[in-house]
Chains A and B, each alone.
Chain A
């Protein structure tokens, strides 16, 4: 099965029924139904009830559905889990994770609720958000704190606030954090997802930032407006040239593998396992079925 793409993850305020009911048609890879920062303090109960009802009814098609709950140190976090965990959305996003203990406390509640609801084979995965200097310092241990974590993400707005700096368009203040989080996530085989780009009118700025975060290893980006989806996809989608090259690399790899040859050359350049792995990633992003290539080589 092709890996799930997470190029674009669109935040949708949890108290906005119009946006939630349309979430499956925005074309993003995932929606983040937000019970945290996008919901006013006096509407937390209404948003939680609305998201619970919508999850049971709305068709999200093949869009991955993630719910961002409130932190467990707030009065809302546990109440969010009690309502959302029984419904097993694709993932739950856990904000402001600062330590392994935070993850353990959170997962203890998740597992208790699953047990109480008779969920024996939970499918929901966890996304941890790193949004404080302490979280950045502990990120490697956090990323490996539980086997159900399958993505790690940086919250740029809160992180800059915690660091006492201004978030600038060049992102220089969070650059170290971005790279540290990428390395920690990669070390544990997780998807690493970038923070939002707040200026929805600056399409060029969004493109530049997306190109940069792609280069340093992020698998995708959080978005705050459906208008940002296409721009981000254009950056993450491979070019025709890249796809052709990857197709050729993978075909040759299969042909040589069938002949018992490990390392080979294409146009005088050595092709080894890392080159093949990069080709596979390109083909997956292009929605090309590897099995079809394998079958066409065999025939």
Chain B
């Protein structure tokens, strides 16, 4: 699946992560830009978690920007999933 709209999920609060999704052309691949308060220690973990969610949702082409404030893995997963679903136009049960 390919994201259709710009979308975001999360906040800039401590223990949260703001995830922004920008659509890209098909076959552009994944571009993931991360900034984090715990970058030195956890950059790889954050990137792996993001890639895992994108794999699960079958998203191959996307530009994802993540601004992390020390979010735990379940929070990162949740925010990426919410942002991707919003960018796909899947927003069941919200307004």
Residues of A within 8 A of B (CB): 16-18, 21, 41-46, 48-50, 52-54, 56-58, 75-76, 78-80
Contact = CB atoms under 8 A, between A and B. Distances in A.
Contacts of B81: 49, 53
Interface string B1-41: 00000000110011110000000000000000000000000
Nearest to A15: B11
B78 A50 contact: yes
Given A17-B15, A18-B15, A45 B75 contact: no
Given A17-B16, A18-B14, A21-B15, A75 B95 contact: yes
B59 interface: no
Interface residues of B, number: 23
Contact of A53 (B15, B77, B85, B95): B77
Contact of B13 (A18, A41, A57): A18
Contacts of A79: 92-94
B15 A45 contact: no
Contacts of A41: 94-95
B71 interface: yes
Contacts of B85: 45, 49
B48 interface: no
Given A42-B94, A44-B94, A53-B77, 5 more contacts: A17-B13, A17-B75, A46-B78, A49-B81, A50-B82
A17 B91 contact: no
Nearest to A45: B94
A-B CB proximity, top 4 nearest: A79-B93, A18-B15, A53-B74, A45-B94
Contact of A78 (B71, B75, B93): B93
